[in-house]
Structure 1
Amino acid sequence: MSGGIMRTKSWWSGSDSRLLEAALGLAAVLVGVFQVLIPALGVVGVIDPMNTREIEAATTTRVADTVTDAVAGHGMTLTGTHQADLVFTGPDLGQRLLLALPQIIDGLLLLLILAVLLQMARTLRGGDVFVPMNARRLSVVGLTVLVQTTLAPVLLAFTTQILVSGAPMAEQIPFSATFTGEYVLLALLILALGEVFRRGTKLRADTEGLV
């Protein structure tokens, strides 16, 4: 065989690429609107803000354990047993920001993942996803998933502690961050796949250079 390497016809068509890109684009729009834009509008008071935070209480609480935050001038209600709801009546700007921040950060990280996946999908237009840039993109996706998995629980616990700081119910709400092992494993698998892509594209480039 001379003059290059014979390539088999790809089963992936241009229509498939456009459909995948449209699906990823739609997912990015939905995430941007519902996980970033709407919570942000609530923070600045354009729409009704988030006023509830699901927490894990250290001890069983009464069905309605209501206290008043004398410093901020707003009421907080802790309702439930082990899985409880911390509800704010008329949260101020700082409280609205702390309530929405974990969701906004999570949404921004998810948008980054979708944007990188969209860039990868565009390489399928040529029928070949095994390009060097996609190896780096997979590494970005894997690292972002890992950051998202570890940052989200810590940020949620940290902002909760700030929200209840100085309140009588603070002792009932311990600092608690729950990590999901499945997502950590997923991140590691994506990083491993990125390394496979990197070695595969390097090996193919070396092989083509010998022909």
Structure 2
Amino acid sequence: MAVRLGCPPSLCTLLLDAGADVDAPDFYGHSPLWAAVYGKRAGHVALLLARGARVCQWGPGSRVVPLPWNECPLHEAVRQGWQWCQPLVSAGAGLGARGLLRVALDRGDVGTAKGLALAAGLRPSREWAPLPEDDWLAREMTSPPPLSRLCRYAVRACLSRAAGGRDLRPRAPLLPLPPHLVRYVLLDPLGP
């Protein structure tokens, strides 16, 4: 509620320190993270992710349970561009959310589509038409993704499940991997 009403991050910190639920929905049914993205409040997004706001849900059989579009912070971020998607995707949002790739492409936002494809393991479909003209997009639809990207997606999915759908970044350094591979898993740098 405090995020929806535009309270400063310092007040939100006090409320969270006092025991407020980081995922408590507001009077519209939106999570604080969704409201922060909707309101373009970068400080709130960072605070909520650091405090364990849920970025995805895992169901039985280790499958991602998609949130309805009006409750999904990443769906709202896709509407606003990659700069709003990046912190959520880095934290583990978007795993298996292929529909969001379609939303970005329908908006003509190839930059956001590319970020989602590289970070969340998503691939565009040839059946989606019309698509923006772009060399990268044409290559993505005609060739399989690199094995390194598929491995990164699998490791990120395991970390997300282990984190209960919350920010996976604190768990990545615990992996028995060399530092350059941990950075790759953490999308630093974002590349194939």
Could you state the TM-score of these two structures normalised by the residue count of structure 2? Answer: 0.25
Which one has a larger percent strand, Structure 1 or Structure 2?
Answer: 1
Larger Rg: 1
Could you state the TM-score of these two structures normalised by the residue count of structure 1? Answer: 0.23
Which one has a larger percent helix, Structure 1 or Structure 2?
Answer: 1
